[in-house]
Structure 1
Amino acid sequence: MKEQIIVVFRYVDAYGFVKECFFGFIHVVDTAALTLKKGLYSLLSQHCLDIQNIQWQGYDGASNMRGMWNGLQVLNLNDCLYAYYIHCFAHCLQLALVKVSKQVVPINGFFLKLLLVIKTTYSSCKSNEQLKVVNANEIARLIDLEELETGSGLNQIDTLQRPVETCWSSHFRLVSSLLRMFSSTVEVLLNIIDDAANGEHQVEAESAHDGLTSFEFVFILHLEKETMEITDKLCQVLQNQSQDILNAMHLLSSTKALIQKFRDDGWDGLLTIVISFCENHCIVILDMNACYVGRRGRACNQQDNITIEHHYRVDIFYAAIDSQLQKLNHRFNEDAMELLRLSSALEPREALKSFRSSDLCLLVKNFYL
């Protein structure tokens, strides 16, 4: 029950090898940026380490750490002019994507329903085993109909896992597995409803089933699958132990370009896939040209006469993708990208083939006067 700072040093030794080691804990009375700065400086001074020798600082994305005006990184930068703050790329990406899911109301509601589906489906060992059996039978049926390819490693029995907020890849795996196991999950929820021993379990199972089999849920399920598939490769690359900075930044730019392309050209294809999926799973398809009526008692007061297509296209499809792009641009700012790009000119591998005198001149001019 104590507030602590964990200090880790990263440095280059006399032989040119990068070292990273745990240095110590610092107990602090609160997490105000000034308090954290005093604690950090106190620890360094105890070991006769000069503050001016700090060349880089990295923290999480909390406002007291990364704040542009009063954050710890700015306070340190005032004393150490070249101690630039770089937030972990993988963590930046997770925060950007998770934050987006909470800002767009329908997307946030989708993830709440998704958690209810997982909770209800795995409410007991019986339902868990039932899901595996139903899924295995469904795979066998599709193989008999020659709708699934067969081969080594294919058609494994899936499970639905609870997503981890700080690991966006877990969200992608969950969404992908739910799409593969959709029929099996619906069947298990119906069995839970029929076998429910009390009203509470029955109500939960009915709510999960109704949410799962709604057009909006299926639409957002496919939307999230498409966008997560674009960002998943970037997620994996940014979590590599050995990181090629230039490759990571190139992949980041490519990812943003692909997301933008999906926004510009992906609506028609996505809607076609969703409608086909709904037809195959007997889910009611909405009339896109019908008037959209808001929920929660807003129908009588609704001023805008908009169609259902407008709601799904503008309020969900565009809103989700635009928020994602905005967050990615905010989290991965141009200054940090430029600093890392120019610093890569110092890469010693392959006999200094990456050495570029023009980039080193720009590095000095822009960052190390």
Structure 2
Amino acid sequence: MATFGFEDYIASLKVYLTRYREGSASGGDRSSKRDIVGAQIDPNALKRGSENIVQSSTNNVETSTPLEQRPSKLPRVESKDVDTSSLVRDPGLRQQIWDYPVSECDEIRRAYIKSGPYQPKAPNNQPFETDKNGRRFLDSWYKLFPDWLEYSPTKNRAFCLPCFLFTKPTGRPGSSAFTIEGFSSWKKVNKGKNCPLLSHMGKDPPNSSHRVAIKCCCDLTNQAQHIEAIIEKQTSIQIARNRLRLKTSIDVIKWLTFQACAFRGRDERHESNNRGNVIELIKLLASYNEDVAAVIQRFIREEINDGKFFILVDESEDESKREQMAIVLRFVDKYGFIKERFFDIVHMLDTTSATLKEEICIVLSRHNLSVQNISGQGYDGASNMYGEWTGLQALFCVECPFAYYVHCFAHRLQLALVGASKQVISINQFFSYLTQAINIVGSSCKRHDQLRAAQAADIAEKLAIDDEFETGKGKNQIGTLKRAGDTRWGSHLSSICSLINMFSATCAVLRNIINDGSKSNQQAEADGAYDSITSFEFVFILHLMRDIMEITDDLCQALQSKSQDILNAMHLVSTTKIFIQKFREDGWVPLLEKIKLFSNDHGIQIPDMSCPYKGGRVTRIKNRFKEDVMELLVLSSALDLGNGYRSFNIEDICKLADKFYPMDFSEQEKLHLKYQLENYKLDISTLLEF
């Protein structure tokens, strides 16, 4: 709450301010103003709130209004009208602002701000008065500094309106040049960056006295920043938040009541996956509202306490083209259960590693979570995340040397395949042609129906000439072409397989568009797509990529499994490397036979195959799956106590502590660690439950 525990004083302070305004507006009686300003505030009265607030030593001031009789909202403060015609506009002749009574200064300032800078034009288009050197003030300078520059024809000097209104004289040389004495060194104006008019604005614009004076002008005219408005606003915000929390609880109870649903769950403990309808529905509503979500964030903070935690971060663009960063915390709660909690989502102006780190640290510090307690990091493979020197993981490792970065294995495999394909121009072109053909054929319902009709005719023809051609559930059914997703490399395999199965039907639809298309541009696009997919190079890459992706797809699906074991995942990565290398060495002849058979069936000309061919790049997978990270995961699996302590390995645990977490153990602790683990293993084996 923004009142910081002073709630008991706010109402009384409002009354005091109201009394002061009433005294200031009492027809200009200076004595009454002095009496109210000089009044003494009784601390006991401030606490009670309903007793006398102000006691004057000379005048009888009425006691404060009881709390129950006060208006719920303070009346709007209207500024007094000041006759601007009575104010001297010429900056060389006007009275200094500090010579006015203190109670009238703000109204005088408002009047001058409302009138704007005094910028007279030269009479009868004649130039202003010249100095002894023949130089003069130019009215064209008004356009360069329209908000503050003033000119006094009587003194032939320039002044600054905001500084006149808010800058106090300091006695330093030159501090009163634009406020009291005025500026008249016209010969210095044309010195470029050293122009006195520019120097007056300050070399450090946000902190210069001129900028501060301009900010004071804006604050004075902005009534929303006055103290009584801020106090009223903070009180309203707290009321709105309390009402929101109460309304959320009431709405949840009403909805469950009308739906005849149970309120409580069978297991409402923190580690439970289903804590009952009331709690789960409030958590759902909290995900759509920041104020309710704040309560959830405090609960997550209490779950983590002062323990270690793992941060998972990802950023993406939402529907409104705003870059958003999602933060998920993974930790072990006080009951020993591993938890993953969505913690916050932050709007990002840019996605540099330094900005991401700063925003993450702000979110963590806001909830009193120490960066030093980060024990691991999980991001995608983008350069701003993955970079070894300036990436986000490297910046956190500077403060937390043991916050090891672990990249999602499924995403690593995807990046390895994408990186390898981008190194070969023909593979890039292949996927462009594939996407183009699928988009053209599936762009309308009419073409989709033509594709299904052509496929049905193709299946009927094969059934008539081939007795072994099978039909039935899952075999040679009428389907549709599948598009490849940008974020799921596994979808490319489905797209390739669908085109192979419906190659004849796809070519038939493209020929129909070429011959019967209503628009020339559609015919041109279809003709280009037809020429691309009926080339031998396209057919060759089509079958090559299918065989490669059939090998990697098993690994990709296994790595995305929630129940996947770390050691098994390591084994799958190793076997996939072996399969790809084996396919590279021994898979040429079977692949070429399949391609020739497919080409002969569809009338595609086979070129001379005596030319050499450069293979793909298995090194991409090796670079993505680095040995040190894989070793960390393998050694960490020794701490798995499931399946009857099958993975428990004392040597691996000691190696893990010595190599990856040396600062967490002293030399003496490292010596005793092995014997302590052996005693632990012996004690566990003697228990009846084990």
Q: TM-score, normalised by structure 2?
A: 0.48
Could you tell me how far apart the structure 2 residues matched to 1:358 and 1:202 are? Answer: 69
Q: How does 1:274-353 map to 2 (within 5 A)?
A: 274-289=595-610, 309-310=611-612, 313-314=613-614, 318=615, 321-322=616-617, 325-353=618-646
Partner residue, 2:352: 32
Indicate conservation of the 8 Å contact 1:98/1:165, yes or no.
Answer: no
Name the CA shift for 1:117/1:19 in 2 (closer, same or farther; >3 Å): same
- Out of 354, 358, 368, the position equivalent to 2:651 is 358
* Aligned equivalent of 1:197: 518
Residue in 1 that maps onto 2:391: 71
Instruction: Verify: 1:227 aligned to 2:548, yes or no.
Output: yes
Unaligned runs of at least 5 residues, structure 1: 290-308
Contact 2:471 2:477 survives alignment (8 Å): no
Is the CA contact (8 Å cut-off) linking 2:327 and 2:345 kept in structure 1? yes
Find the residue that maps to 2:394 and give its secondary structure: helix
In structure 2, how many angstroms separate the alpha carbons of the residues matched to 1:148 and 1:354? 50
**Identity, % of aligned positions:** 52
Aligned to 2:413: 93
Match of 1:129 among 449, 465, 490: 449
For residue 506 of structure 2, the aligned residue among 169, 185, 200 is 185
1:164 equivalent in structure 2: 485
More helix by share: 1
Structure 1 residue identity aligned to 2:375:
Q
Q: Does 1:104 align with 2:424?
A: yes
Q: Please give the alpha-carbon distance, in whole angstroms, between the structure 2 residues aligned to 1:28 and 1:124.
A: 38
**Which residue of structure 2 lines up, in the alignment, with residue 58 of structure 1?**
378
Task: Give the deviation of 1:38 after TM superposition.
Answer: 1.9
Q: In structure 1, how many angstroms separate the alpha carbons of the residues matched to 2:491 and 2:468? A: 27
SS in 1 for 2:518: coil
C-alpha deviations, 1:192-233, integer Å up to 9, x for none?
Answer: 212111211111111111111100000000100110110011
In the alignment, what sits opposite 1:138? 458
In structure 1, C-alpha distance between the alignment counterparts of 2:593 and 2:322, rounded to whole Å: 54
Instruction: State the Cα deviation string for residues 223-281 of structure 1 (Å, max 9, x = none).
Output: 00110110011111111223211111111111111000011111122112111111111
SS at the partner of 1:100? Answer: helix
Secondary structure of the equivalent of 1:8?
Answer: strand
Aligned positions, number: 341
The correspondence of residues 111-126 of structure 1 with structure 2, limited to 5 A, is 111-126=431-446
Report the AA paired with residue 648 of structure 2: F
Letter in 1 for 2:389: W
Q: Deviations over 1:62-116 (max 9, x none)?
A: 1111110111111111111211001111111112212322221011111111111
User: Which residue in the other structure is 1:297 paired with?
Assistant: none
The equivalent residue for 2:153 is: none
Counterpart AA for 1:42? I
Change (3 A) 1:229 1:47: same
> Alignment RMSD, CA only?
1.6
Give the deviation of 1:338 after TM superposition: 0.6
Distance, in Å, in 2 between the alignment partners of 1:185 and 1:330 is: 38
- The residue type paired with residue 353 of structure 2 is A
Q: Do the aligned partners of residues 2 and 188 (structure 1) sit closer, same or farther apart at CA in structure 2, a change above 3 Å counting?
A: closer
1:203-282 residue pairs with structure 2 within 5 A? 203-282=524-603
Matched with 2:63 is none
Task: Write out per-residue CA displacement over residues 6-52 of structure 1, whole angstroms, 9 at most, x where no aligned residue.
Answer: 21101122233221111112344432222222221222122111222
TM-fit CA distance, 1:120: 1.5
Deviations 1:114-152 (A, max 9, x none): 111112111321111111122123223334413433443
Match of 1:49 in 2: 369
Q: Which range is displaced more, 179-188 or 43-52? A: 43-52
**Letter aligned with residue 536 of structure 2:** F
Structure 1 residues 317-353: Cα deviation after superposition (integer angstroms, max 9, x where no partner): x0xx22xx12111111111111111111111211221
In structure 1, give the amino acid aligned to 2:580: I
Aligned to 1:306: none
- Does the 8 Å contact 1:13/1:19 carry over to 2? yes
Say which is worse superposed, 35-44 or 150-159, in terms of deviation: 150-159
Whether the 8 Å CA contact 1:98–1:166 is kept in 2: the answer is no
